[in-house]
């Protein structure tokens, strides 16, 4: 299982709408992914297999803020601690919008993360807006 | 009307740590970016980087699998944290093979 991460075209569209002042919502939710995980830009909110188990299902992230990677406030930083309420195998996680219908970005782990009840998974995702990004 | 543009976009970096309820680290995942094309006429160098990236990817995959399997047992801390990560091709190859053997034995 290769470790991969990606922003999504669905997220680009949502970000463009936000810049244009059209109906769109900001980064807010976070969810663990199970069963299968492929990170590429064609992934969508509906297309990922979201965990529904207690503690790792879709929730508002603990913290969403801007931070500096290269220049001040060029990065959206999402931090969250999942606490498993039951046994679950997590393959990655995704960051979604406030309306919970757009996947901004996702990552897939190097290998399965076998969580037992009360285990924690501390995650951080940084989405940098940058010149020359690929 | 002419069209002018500059390159830009979004990049993702992430981190993840799996811990027990009492805060003991089980494993820290590794975030890796595949090597970008260096922009020079050096296919051989790029293929070498790709090979190193491929080895590194397998090393971290097997490291995480091993650390997850041995969550209740003492193992070298470098397998849990991923640090220090092997640097050279030889170190990577040796560590990856060592991990593979450890996994077969457990």
- Cβ atoms of A77 and A66 within 8 Å: the answer is yes
Per residue in A58-85, pLDDT (tens digit) is: 999 999 999 999 999 999 999 999 999 9
Residues of B in contact with A109 (CB under 8 A): 16, 29, 64
Across the range A107-123, mean pLDDT stands at: 95
Tell me the pLDDT tens digit for each residue of A23-59: 999 999 999 999 999 999 999 999 999 999 999 999 9
Chosen for mutation from A1, A3, A74, A103 (greatest number of chain B CBs closer than 10 Å) is: A3
Q: Dmax over Cα atoms in chain B, in whole Å?
A: 68
Structure tokens at B95: 């560590």
Write out chain B's pLDDT in tens, 106 residues.
666 766 677 889 999 999 999 999 999 998 887 777 777 778 888 888 899 999 999 999 999 999 999 999 999 999 999 999 898 999 999 999 999 998 888 7
pLDDT at A133: 47
Q: How confident is the model at residue A16 (pLDDT cuts 50, 70, 90)?
A: very high
CA atoms of B67 and B89, how far apart (whole Å):
22
Determine the residue of chain A that is closest to B58 in CA distance.
A2
DSSP 8-state symbol, A15? H
* pTM assigned to the model: 0.90
Write the ipTM: 0.91
Label the pairing between strands A27-33 and A120-131. Answer: unpaired
Single out the residue of B78, B12, B68, B42 nearest to residue A121, CA to CA. B68
Helix, strand or coil for residue B93?
A: helix
Chain B contacts in chain A segment 21-60 (CB below 8 A): none
Element containing residue A104 per DSSP (H, E): strand A103-115
Q: How far is CA A43 from CA A2, B35, B84, B88, B103, in A?
A: 16, 22, 33, 34, 33
Q: How far is CA A58 from the centre of its chain?
A: 10
Among candidates B21, B31, B62 on the partner chain, residue whose Cβ is nearest the Cβ of A120: B21
């Amino acid at each position: 299982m290769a470790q991969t991460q990606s922003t999504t075209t669905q997220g680009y569209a949502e970000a463009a709408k936000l810049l244009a002042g059209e109906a769109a919502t900001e980064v807010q939710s976070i969810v663990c992914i199970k069963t299968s995980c492929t990170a590429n830009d064609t992934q969508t909110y509906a297309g990922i297999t979201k965990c529904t188990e207690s503690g790792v299902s879709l929730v508002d992230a603990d913290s969403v803020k801007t931070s500096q990677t290269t220049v001040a406030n060029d990065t959206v930083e999402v931090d969250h601690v999942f606490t498993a309420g039951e046994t679950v195998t997590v393959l990655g996680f995704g960051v979604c919008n406030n309306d919970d219908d757009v996947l901004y970005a996702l990552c897939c782990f190097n290998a399965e993360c076998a969580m037992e009840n009360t285990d924690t998974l501390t995650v951080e995702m940084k989405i940098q807006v940058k010149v020359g990004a690929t | 009307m002419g069209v002018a543009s500059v390159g830009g976009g979004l990049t993702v970096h992430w981190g993840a740590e799996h811990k027990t309820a009492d805060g003991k680290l089980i494993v820290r995942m590794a975030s890796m970016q595949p090597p970008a094309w260096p922009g020079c006429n050096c296919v051989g160098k790029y293929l070498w980087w790709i090979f190193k990236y491929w080895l590194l990817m397998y090393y971290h995959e097997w490291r995480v699998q091993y650390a997850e399997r041995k969550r209740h047992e003492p193992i070298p801390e470098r397998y849990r944290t991923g640090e220090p990560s092997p640097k050279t091709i030889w170190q990577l190859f040796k560590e990856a093979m060592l991990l593979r053997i450890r996994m077969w034995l457990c």
